[in-house]
């Protein structure tokens, strides 16, 4: 290899080129973990926002970042609850292990609110709206669902990256010492390249390599100290076509849309679940009140019976009957209190809160239910005629004028469900996904025929600049045919893809029929709960009057103690049954809206109820539960 003078200075442009090349390679390799995290978050956030707009017609706030302080964390600290370790308070309290990377600190996001009292050690009372908000930021299940959406967006970003310009760079330094000949040599090579996958299937790549040792020493004016390598590969049969090449990206886009739909469905289900458990706890507390009132009535009855026994008006058996019922009432009261505590603890778990946290639920929600029942069904009557006409005809259907606000005609309810249920959209999309997989599987049966070409240039860098000599380049072009004799694996995959289409269609049909069943059952449940509430209202009035009458008859010796005891038992059952039907009707309303797909839940976990008087679609949210 001919050389220029060893001491010839390296031209400044060449030195700048070499240093710039080294710097760019090192800069790309030394990007911090925190910057990588930030870039991944920006890409995923943009994908989620775009998919929300396309799939839901709206974009709302979405983040998997934890609030700077959660309600759970505040309860743990303010109420000084026992904790096993730092993880009990959240990831921010963990000590970083050795070699933990610098992942950066996302923008601080406060919690939506902090319900509580002035004294952190006091019991915190929360309303239903507050419970919904707490669930959105503290529930582990809620966070897992959001992370599923985010992971799907990250996977789509990876699939899109396949069609971006992919840059690469490397520096290789090698020192060689030959002890036999005594020769020592050093070699430092650098290479930068770019690769691009086109949607048509063509693959382009280009790479530039430099001999940095000769370049920086000013040597190599006559030697090849740089190489430019360009190549292209184009599939002509198998793997050709945009629909084949972009299929993984298309499926990833569908997966993000499905994940967002699934998250919306989860929010609906979870909001109804929170409301159901919230009212169940209040219902259990109301049963405590009823059990306490029944216990006091029985105490008074036992005292009265004992007084009558002393006057010889009743027998000792009747006194013992009263005492036995009093003991049962005491046991029932204890059981009601323990059931309340158990249900409240379970509700705390649903919200993602410690079970030993001091939490109470607002009684105002129950009072609102009673007011709504009075508006819908009228106030409870004080006097009810209980005479029965045996010859009266039973009505086939309840009076339509007495229907509640969500007791739609079946045809309208089914239309709303078909238009708004997101799981139906997912099932429809999965049928088309299965069809696309058939196309890809059929393409795999074809032989592979690729057109390949490359051009490699050797160049020289001198004082006067760089020069490539096309006449000295090496050019190649050719066809590559892949036609294996056996296509058994591909044949089996193709046949399985056809079966998957049939399976996807059956799944869609099954879901369609199940949705219809859900809607029809939800309408039946509304009717049943509405009529049950009316019946239990009348039953409560009858039970109250029965207690008054039997107590009065006992005073004059016309009723036995057993009659009074049975009347008190009936009163307690009527009180509990009325509350059951009241709560049941409200939950049935929420269940119907969920099954119709018209119950919207925002990023704070609050629901917006459907207005039955407006023509709406899945994106209309006129009535906010505040």
Q: Tell me: the pLDDT tens digits for 527-542?
A: 777 777 777 777 787 7
Count Cβ atoms below 10 Å from residue 603 Cβ, excluding itself: 14
Residue 177 falls within a domain, yes or no? yes
Instruction: Note the pLDDT tens digit of each residue in 168-219.
Output: 777 777 777 767 676 777 676 777 788 888 888 888 888 887 776 665 555 5
| Integer Cα distance of 584 and 275 in angstroms | 11
Work out how many domains the chain is built from and give that number: 1
Residue 103 falls within a domain, yes or no? no
pLDDT band at 116 (very low <50, low <70, confident <90, very high): low
Q: Give the max Cα distance, the chain.
A: 137
Q: What is the mean pLDDT of the chain?
A: 76
Instruction: Note the pLDDT tens digit of each residue in 44-89.
Output: 999 999 999 988 888 888 888 877 778 888 888 888 887 777 777 7
User: Residue 461 sits in which domain range?
Assistant: 1-21+166-197+202-238+448-482
Q: Which residue has the tokens 């379970």?
A: 346
The pLDDT assigned to 65 comes to 81
Residue 13 falls within a domain, yes or no? yes
- Check pLDDT > 90 for residue 557: no
The pLDDT assigned to 198 comes to 87
What 3-state DSSP class applies to 33? helix
pLDDT band at 6 (very low <50, low <70, confident <90, very high): very low
Tokens of 602: 């925002």
CA torsion through residues 530, 531, 537, 539, sign: negative
| Integer Cα distance of 326 and 303 in angstroms | 11
Per the CB < 8 A criterion, the answer to whether 229 and 456 are in contact is yes
User: What phi and psi values does residue 351 have, to the nearest 5 degrees?
Assistant: -80, -10
Tokens of 371: 């007011």
Residue 72 falls within a domain, yes or no? no
User: What phi and psi values does residue 294 have, to the nearest 5 degrees?
Assistant: -65, -40
Residue 185 falls within a domain, yes or no? yes
- DSSP code string of 137-191: HH-HHHHHHHHHHHHHHHHHHHHHHTTS-EEEEEEEEEEEE-TTT--EEEEEEEE
User: 624: part of which helix (H) or strand (E)?
Assistant: strand 623-624
| Integer Cα distance of 329 and 463 in angstroms | 105
Q: How far is CA 118 from CA 75, 78, 80, 124, in A?
A: 13, 11, 15, 10
- Check pLDDT > 70 for residue 265: yes
Residue 172 falls within a domain, yes or no? yes
- Check pLDDT > 70 for residue 363: yes
pLDDT band at 473 (very low <50, low <70, confident <90, very high): confident
Per the CB < 8 A criterion, the answer to whether 622 and 616 are in contact is yes
**CA-based nearest residue to 318, from 334, 296, 295, 301:** 301
- Check pLDDT > 70 for residue 390: no
- Check pLDDT > 60 for residue 413: yes
Tokens of 567: 């009347």
Per the CB < 8 A criterion, the answer to whether 366 and 578 are in contact is no
The pLDDT assigned to 9 comes to 47
What 3-state DSSP class applies to 360? strand
Per the CB < 8 A criterion, the answer to whether 395 and 555 are in contact is no
- Average pLDDT in the 480-509 region? 81
| Integer Cα distance of 258 and 251 in angstroms | 10
- Check pLDDT > 60 for residue 626: no
Per the CB < 8 A criterion, the answer to whether 459 and 466 are in contact is yes
- Check pLDDT > 50 for residue 118: no
| Integer Cα distance of 198 and 164 in angstroms | 9
Burial of 392 (0-12, 13-18, 19+ CB in 10 A): exposed
Q: What is the pTM of this model?
A: 0.73
Count Cβ atoms below 10 Å from residue 547 Cβ, excluding itself: 20
Residue 358 falls within a domain, yes or no? no
| Integer Cα distance of 595 and 265 in angstroms | 10
Residue 184 falls within a domain, yes or no? yes
């Amino acid at each position: 290899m001919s050389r220029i003078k060893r001491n010839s200075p390296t031209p400044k442009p060449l030195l700048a080129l070499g240093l710039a090349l080294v710097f760019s390679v090192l800069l790309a390799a030394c990007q911090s973990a925190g910057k990588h995290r930030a870039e991944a978050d920006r890409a995923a956030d943009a994908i989620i926002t775009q998919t929300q707009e396309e799939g839901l017609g709206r974009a709302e706030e979405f983040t998997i970042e934890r609030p700077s302080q959660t309600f759970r964390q505040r309860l743990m600290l303010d109420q000084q609850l026992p904790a096993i370790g730092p993880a009990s308070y959240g990831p921010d309290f963990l000590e970083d292990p050795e070699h933990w990377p610098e992942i950066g600190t996302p923008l601080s996001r406060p919690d939506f609110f902090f319900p509580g009292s002035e004294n952190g050690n006091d019991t915190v009372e929360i309303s239903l709206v507050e419970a919904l908000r707490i669930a959105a930021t503290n529930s582990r299940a809620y966070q897992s669902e959001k992370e599923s959406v985010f992971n799907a967006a990250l996977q789509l970003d990876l699939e899109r990256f396949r069609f971006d310009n992919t840059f690469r760079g490397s520096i290789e330094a090698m020192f060689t010492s030959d002890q036999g000949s005594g020769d020592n040599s050093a070699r430092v090579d650098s290479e930068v390249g770019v690769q691009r996958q086109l949607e048509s299937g063509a693959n382009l790549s280009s790479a530039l390599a430099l001999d940095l040792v000769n370049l920086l020493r000013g040597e190599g004016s006559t030697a090849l100290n740089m190489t430019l390598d360009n190549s292209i590969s184009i599939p002509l049969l198998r793997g050709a076509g945009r629909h084949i090449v972009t299929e993984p990206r298309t499926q990833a886009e569908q997966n993000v849309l499905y994940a967002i739909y699934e998250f919306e469905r989860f929010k609906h289900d979870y909001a109804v679940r929170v409301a159901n458990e919230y009212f169940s706890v209040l219902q259990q507390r109301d049963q405590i009140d009823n059990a306490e009132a029944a216990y006091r009535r029985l105490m008074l009855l036992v005292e009265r019976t004992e007084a009558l026994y002393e006057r010889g008006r009743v027998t000792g058996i009747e006194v013992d009957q009263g005492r036995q019922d009093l003991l049962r009432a005491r046991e029932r009261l204890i059981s009601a209190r323990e059931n309340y505590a158990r249900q409240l603890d379970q509700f705390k778990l649903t919200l993602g809160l410690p079970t030993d946290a001091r939490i109470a639920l607002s009684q105002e929600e129950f009072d609102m239910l009673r007011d709504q029942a009075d508006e819908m069904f009228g106030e409870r009557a004080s006097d009810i005629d209980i005479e029965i006409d045996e010859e009266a005809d039973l009505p086939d259907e309840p009076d339509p004028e007495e229907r509640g606000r969500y007791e739609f005609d079946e045809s309208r309810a089914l239309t709303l469900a078909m238009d708004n249920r997101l799981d139906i959209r997912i099932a429809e999309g999965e049928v088309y996904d299965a069809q696309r997989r058939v196309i890809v599987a059929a393409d795999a049966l074809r032989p592979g025929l690729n057109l390949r070409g490359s051009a490699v240039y050797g160049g020289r860098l001198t004082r006067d600049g760089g020069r490539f000599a096309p006449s000295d380049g090496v050019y190649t072009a050719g066809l590559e045919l892949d036609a294996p004799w056996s296509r058994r694996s591909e044949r089996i995959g193709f046949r399985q893809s056809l079966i998957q289409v049939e399976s996807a269609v059956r799944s869609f049909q099954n879901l369609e029929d199940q949705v219809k069943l859900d809607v029809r059952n939800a309408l039946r449940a509304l009717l049943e709960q509405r009529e049950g509430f009316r019946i239990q209202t009348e039953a409560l009035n009858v039970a109250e009057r029965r207690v008054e009458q039997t107590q009065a008859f006992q005073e004059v010796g016309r009723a036995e103690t057993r009659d009074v005891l049975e009347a008190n038992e009936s009163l307690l059952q009527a009180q509990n049954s009325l509350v059951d039907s009241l709560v049941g009707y409200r939950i049935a309303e929420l269940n119907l809206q969920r099954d119709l797909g018209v119950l919207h839940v925002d990023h704070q976990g609050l629901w917006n109820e459907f207005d039955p008087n407006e023509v709406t679609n899945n994106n209309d949210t006129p009535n906010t539960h505040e």
